[in-house]
Each structure stands twice: as C-alpha cells, then as structure tokens.
Amino acid sequence: MQYNGIIKKFIVDTNAVAQEKGLEAAFAYVENCEAAGRVTSDCIEGIVSKCVAAPKTKTKELAKQIALMFVEIETYEKVIEELLKGLSNKNPKVVSGCTLIMTACLHSFGAKVIKVSPLLKAIVPLLDHKDKTVREESKGLIVEAYRWVGDIMKQQLNGVKPVQMTELEAAFEKCEKAKKGERLLRSQQTFGGGGAANDDAEDGDEKGSDKDDDGDDAADDPYELLDPVDIMEKLPKNFFELVEEKKWQLRKEALDALLPLSQTPKISPNGDHNDLIRVLKKFISKDANVILVALAAQCLTGIAKGLRSNFKQGATICLPVVLEKLKEKKAAVAAALVEAADALYPPLGIEAIQVRKQRSLFPLSMHFK
C-alpha cells in the first residue's frame, strides 16, 4: 500500500528504458498486491496518456497486460471508464490504442464482465473517424462484441452507414460465436497463483464449477447485456390522436410509426404502457381493417418480447383477445396473431404455458397449421 503513490510515476516515466522497467514493476504490483485496485484509475489514465501511443511495441504490450490484470482483480469498471475517456483524445494513435485494449478486455473476459452496450455507444461513431487505423480497430471491437451477444446488438448499429454495415455483416458471418472467456476474474479462481487464467479456464470443470460446456459468459442471456429503451418518449406526439381517426390510412400511419419502436430488443419497463396496450387491444378486437389488425399484432409481439416478464399485465389483457381473433381466415393476419400469442405466453409464467400445452396450443403455429 505504501507504493500506491509511485506506481503511476513508473508508468508515465519520460525515459523509454525506465518506463519499460516501470511497467514491468507495475504489472507485478497489480498482480500481487491486494491494495492495487486503489490505483486503477490513476494507472489506466497514465497508460492512456503515455503508453498506448508509444513507439515501442513492448511498451504498448505491457500497458495492455496491466489493463487486463486490473480487470482480473475486478476493477474493470474503472478500466473501461478511463479507456472510454481516451477515445476523445485528439491523437488517433491514443484512440486506436484504447480501442485495442478494450477489445482485448472483452475477448479475454467476455461480455458478462465487460458490458457491450457502453462500448458500442462510444465506438460506433468512430467508424467515421478520419484515421484508418481507428476505423479498423473500431470495426474489430464491434465484431468482438458480436461474438458475445449476436444479432441482438444490431439495435445499436442503426446509425451505421449501409456500406459499413455490409462490411460488418460480412465480418459477422466469418466470426465464431464466443463460448467462454480466456481468463477468469480473481474471485473465479479457486486455486492457483492468480495469474493469467488460460490454464484455469481449461481446468474449469476440475475447479468444482457446475457450469456446462457451453461456457459461463455465452450462457448469459444477451438481453441482459442491453440498455433498456423508453419507446413511449419516442412515439409521435399525435400518436393517440391518429389511432382514433376515421380514415384507416391515418390509423395505419400511427401503427407504422410504432412498429419499428416495438422491435426494440429491450424496452424500458419504466414507461407507462397502459394506454398503448389499450390501443393495440382495440385494434385487434374491433378494427374492421385486417391490415391494421395484422400491424397491431406485430407491434404487440415486439413489445411483449422487448418487455418480457414486465409485460405480464399487458399479456393478461391482450391474450384473450388475440386467441379469440385467431378465427381470422386471412393467412397473413392469422400468422401475425399466432406470433403475437406465442410472444404473450412467456410473460405469464409457467402456469400459462402448462395450460397452453393442455389445450394443444403449443406451439400455436403448429395448431394453426
């Protein structure tokens, strides 16, 4: 603990040879000292300012290993916080260096530790950076994120240009989905010296872990890694006026505005969705225009999936109406209603699913056929 004040000085030394030795000492300190977590922010700040853009490869590699070791001792939030600050640096070498280290952190420890959503928010704009290396490293981080969470993260890529998205899609197809991180947090290591956890990861089953071969990080639901979005505040101001219009084209205009919002993978439960639920229920049960019935069913499906268990009340209200409307003979409308019913059962819990099985409605798509 008495050395905490001088560790950053080792990292930012202006003499290249002394700095290299200082980085080696800093790494050993972080790896072995229980109080090392207290200097995380200072040390990563020093790494950002004096190491990631250094001309010597060894300096940059040592800096990366120190950052990874800070993640291992479980001060990863401070590590990412300082690295994200580095993305606003005017020197493109600093920006690309910070991005590279964040990619390494995500690759080594997985999306359960390194949250993907904050990274994407900061990285996506860098795809338009004037520096080619920054653009390439940003693309690399996005692809690494995709390895962990898959298609559900595409919600946060809405602002990406079509040409860039085509390149990313091609990279997504080539990458292998991540199963588990290469390293373990210190608290996950049940024996061993607390160093790199590559060997530990290979021996994970011998450590008494009951986790299956699918991996701990990959087993986590990608839904939990996303930031919730309040769709209510994004609705057109005249939405509730439009849905009451006599002209079906105007009512369709309202649903057309809602449909993309309803496809949000994770919807914030904090918004008041009661009026919206009543509107969709009315469309499905009473609207004479089958096009609008199908659109409303699609919106209901998306909202149910985006809210999950938080949509229990809405599912309770809407499910009887949807089931009653399944008598609709038009195939496109019936298919949308079937999909809506399938999405409404999970929020109601296991009892509703058991009832569904007893009524031979599981899955509803098979029943419809």
Which segments of the chain belong to CATH 1.25.10.10?
4-220, 232-368
Would you state the pLDDT for residue 324? Answer: 92
Would you state the pLDDT for residue 158? Answer: 78
Mean pLDDT along residues 214-225: 56
Quote the CA–CA distance of 294 and 336 in Å, as a whole number.
6
Would you state the pLDDT for residue 262? Answer: 94
- On the question of pLDDT at 191 being above 80, the answer is no
Q: Which of 44-48, 81-85, 210-214, 342-346 has the lowest mean pLDDT?
A: 210-214
| 4-220 classified as CATH 2.40.50.140 | no
Q: Alpha helix (H) ranges present in the chain?
A: 4-11, 16-32, 40-50, 57-72, 76-86, 92-109, 116-123, 132-149, 162-174, 198-202, 216-219, 239-242, 248-262, 274-286, 290-307, 312-325, 331-348, 350-358, 364-368
Both tokens of residue 196? Answer: 């790199």
Mean pLDDT along residues 107-114: 93
Would you state the pLDDT for residue 5? Answer: 73
> Each residue of 112-124: pLDDT tens digit?
899 998 999 999 9
Residue 2: is it exposed, middle or buried by C-beta count within 10 angstroms (0-12/13-18/19+)? exposed
Would you state the pLDDT for residue 107? Answer: 96
Q: Which of 217-231, 258-272, 288-302 has the lowest mean pLDDT?
A: 217-231
Would you state the pLDDT for residue 222? Answer: 73
> Each residue of 305-350: pLDDT tens digit?
999 999 999 999 999 999 999 887 888 899 999 999 999 989 887 5
Asked if 23 and 66 count as a contact pair (C-beta separation under 8 A), the reply is: yes
CB neighbourhood size of 84 (10 A): 18
- On the question of pLDDT at 202 being above 60, the answer is no
- On the question of pLDDT at 297 being above 60, the answer is yes
Would you state the pLDDT for residue 228? Answer: 86
Fold classification of 232-368 is: Leucine-rich Repeat Variant (1.25.10)
Mean pLDDT along residues 5-15: 91
